Amino acid sequence: MRHSRNILLAVLTLASGCTLIPRYQRPEAPVRTTFTVDPTGTNAASAVLPTWEEFFTDPRHRQLIRIAITNNRDLRSATLRVEQSRSQYRISRSRLFPRQEAGAAFESLRSGGDTRELWSASLGSTAYEVDLFGRVRSLNRQALEKFLATDEARKAALISLIAEVAAADLDLRRATRQVSLANETLGLVGESRALNQAAFEAGASNELDLRSADAQVESTRVSLIAAQLQATEARNRLELLLGRPLPDDLQEAGSDLVDTLVPRVPAGLPSDLLGRRPDILEAEHTLKAANANVGAARAAFLPTLRLTTSAGTSSDELSKLFGAGTGVWSFSPQVTVPIFTGGENRANLAAARVGVRIEVANYEGAIQRAFREVADTLASIDALEGQSAAFSALVLAQQRRFDLARARFGQGEDIYLNVLLAQQDLFTARVRSIDNTFSLLAGRIALFKGLGGGWQ
């Protein structure tokens, strides 16, 4: 009897290795193979994504990013969700194994004038489903894929946080430079206004020049207040990302970030790199989880075998409970076959199949959105790099124009209006040049995020 029972259990164990999960095939990416029209032979296999420490070489960026990784609440929540998902997977995985319980009991029975006492102790398993057609394994695979998707979501949150901290610090540095520029310009126009006031009082100038100088001072003061507001907002945003106030020992901002952030992007980057983005990997794991759910829905149409076993000892006297001849055991297999479920199983299978189609669409949509994000960023970087030289030349030209206009006005050869216009155009050119430089840096940071962590 025991020999036949062992053979039965072995057969059931072997049979439980199969599942009805459909064969998974990764959907073809609905995008071009490269981001640019001038490929250089770069391929995804040779493109190694560096860590953020290798990507961000600026000491101030590194300091801020480390603080944010430690203190940011959103990242902390994402990490805790991973732990929660891991526990859910372990719960699902535990259903693959029998659950054993030990117990002891005492029973006192009276019949007529006789009283009988019965002592017992047992070790047995609750109803254990033998996974003949992989229903439990399919659910376990679904839980595993959900756990992996949650972990990829955490990675995406980490990359997003790193990029946002670096971008927020750039916004703060940009606003700080604009505040310095506005203060510098305010000092210059204040000097011009004082000269105009003296000339007007001496009768050597007219009131129009004086009021134009007043307007220039107030206009610059408005620009200064706006830049100060931007600096305050950038600081508040950065502190929110850090999860704490800015440290007192914060590294000073470098004078030139263009060469310290990241190298220029090689032409012909393959779109296969998008497959390494955590959000796309998250979408694929979610798709695999939906695919595993189809296997569980299929298995619901087939018979279910549950086993209940128990072994122990029973005696009328406690002292003889573990003596010879007191052993008892039970082996109770139960087979259930779904005959009529009111269409529930068919509806579950149909819903599971539709769920796969939904996740395929979500996966393909994630790839398309990622491709557009990276392609737009590459185009923006290319345009901003082209504008950098033009803005440098523009600032030099406007500076020369302002110097000439001021010299001519000082010699009485020109009107003050030309000085005013030259000063305003120089200020605007310098502001736009600062914006272009920091927009270029922000574009490179966006590319770090868009490629799922950088490139090499």
Is-contact 30 143, C-beta < 8 A?
no
CATH number of the domain where residue 326 is located:
2.20.200.10
Average pLDDT value for residue range 178-197: 86
Answer yes or no: do 397 and 267 share one domain: yes
State the amino acid at position 189 in one-letter form. Answer: V
Average pLDDT value for residue range 93-108: 72
pLDDT-based confidence at residue 132 (cuts at 50, 70, 90)? confident
Expressed in angstroms, the distance from the first to the final Cα of the chain is: 66
Answer yes or no: do 118 and 202 share one domain: no
Coil/strand/helix, residue 427: helix
Query: 199-208, 218-227, 231-240, 261-270: which range is least confident on average?
Result: 261-270
pLDDT-based confidence at residue 111 (cuts at 50, 70, 90)? low
Asked if residue 199 is part of any domain, the answer here is: yes
Query: 155-164, 293-302, 347-356: which range is least confident on average?
Result: 293-302
Residue 73 in tokens: 């609440």
Instruction: Give 34's DSSP letter.
Output: B
Answer yes or no: do 374 and 242 share one domain: yes
> How many domains are there within the chain?
2
Answer yes or no: do 220 and 120 share one domain: no
Distance, in Å, from the CA atom of 400 to the CA atom of 423, rounded to the nearest integer, reads: 11
Residue 255 in tokens: 């004078």
| DSSP string across 211-253 | HHHHHHHHHHHHHHHHHHHHHHHHHHHHHHHHTSPPPTTPPPP
Query: 44-48, 344-348, 419-423, 431-435: which range is least confident on average?
Result: 44-48
The segment with the largest mean pLDDT, out of 22-26, 200-204, 406-410, is: 22-26
Answer yes or no: do 216 and 124 share one domain: no
For the chain, state the CA radius of gyration.
37
Asked if residue 113 is part of any domain, the answer here is: yes
- To 10 degrees, the CA torsion angle through 379, 380, 381, 382? 50
Distance, in Å, from the CA atom of 38 to the CA atom of 34, rounded to the nearest integer, reads: 9
Answer yes or no: do 90 and 109 share one domain: no
Q: Is the pLDDT of residue 85 over 50?
A: yes
pLDDT-based confidence at residue 283 (cuts at 50, 70, 90)? very high
Residue 438 in tokens: 């920091």
Average pLDDT value for residue range 284-305: 88
| % of the chain at pLDDT higher than 70 | 79
Q: Is the pLDDT of residue 17 over 60?
A: no
The segment with the largest mean pLDDT, out of 122-126, 170-174, 313-317, is: 170-174
278 contact partners, CB below 8 Å, separation of at least 6 = 152, 153, 154, 155, 156, 159, 452
Average pLDDT value for residue range 6-24: 63
Asked if residue 240 is part of any domain, the answer here is: yes
Asked if residue 455 is part of any domain, the answer here is: no
What pLDDT is attached to residue 277?
Answer: 87
Q: What is the pLDDT of residues 302-319, one digit of tens each?
A: 887 777 777 767 666 555
Answer yes or no: do 176 and 234 share one domain: yes
What pLDDT is attached to residue 112?
Answer: 63
CATH number of the domain where residue 438 is located:
1.20.1600.10
Answer yes or no: do 125 and 264 share one domain: no
Answer yes or no: do 283 and 216 share one domain: yes
How high is the mean pLDDT of the chain? Answer: 81
What pLDDT is attached to residue 1?
Answer: 40
Distance, in Å, from the CA atom of 421 to the CA atom of 402, rounded to the nearest integer, reads: 8
Q: Is the pLDDT of residue 407 over 50?
A: yes
Is the entire prediction scored with pTM above 0.85? Answer: no
Q: Give 200: exposed, middle or buried? Use CB within 10 Å, 0-12, 13-18, 19+.
A: middle
Cα 61 → chain centroid: 19
Answer yes or no: do 190 and 240 share one domain: yes
What pLDDT is attached to residue 81?
Answer: 87
Give the CA count within 13 Å in the CB-facing half-sphere of 173. 22
Which is higher by pLDDT, 17 or 133?
133
Is-contact 430 392, C-beta < 8 A?
no
Asked if residue 120 is part of any domain, the answer here is: yes
Q: What is the pLDDT of residues 29-67, one digit of tens each?
A: 888 777 764 434 444 444 556 678 888 888 888 899 999
Asked if residue 104 is part of any domain, the answer here is: yes
Angle, CA of 297, 354 and 143, to the nearest 5°: 50
Query: 82-91, 92-101, 297-306: which range is least confident on average?
Result: 92-101
Asked if residue 268 is part of any domain, the answer here is: yes
The domain of 164 spans 27-95+138-300+356-450
Asked if residue 238 is part of any domain, the answer here is: yes
| The dihedral sign for the CA sequence 294, 298, 304, 307 | negative
Answer yes or no: do 90 and 233 share one domain: yes
| DSSP string across 15-33 | HTT---PPPP-PPPP-S-S
Which is higher by pLDDT, 131 or 182?
182
Q: Give 304: exposed, middle or buried? Use CB within 10 Å, 0-12, 13-18, 19+.
A: middle
Answer yes or no: do 319 and 371 share one domain: no
What pLDDT is attached to residue 304?
Answer: 78
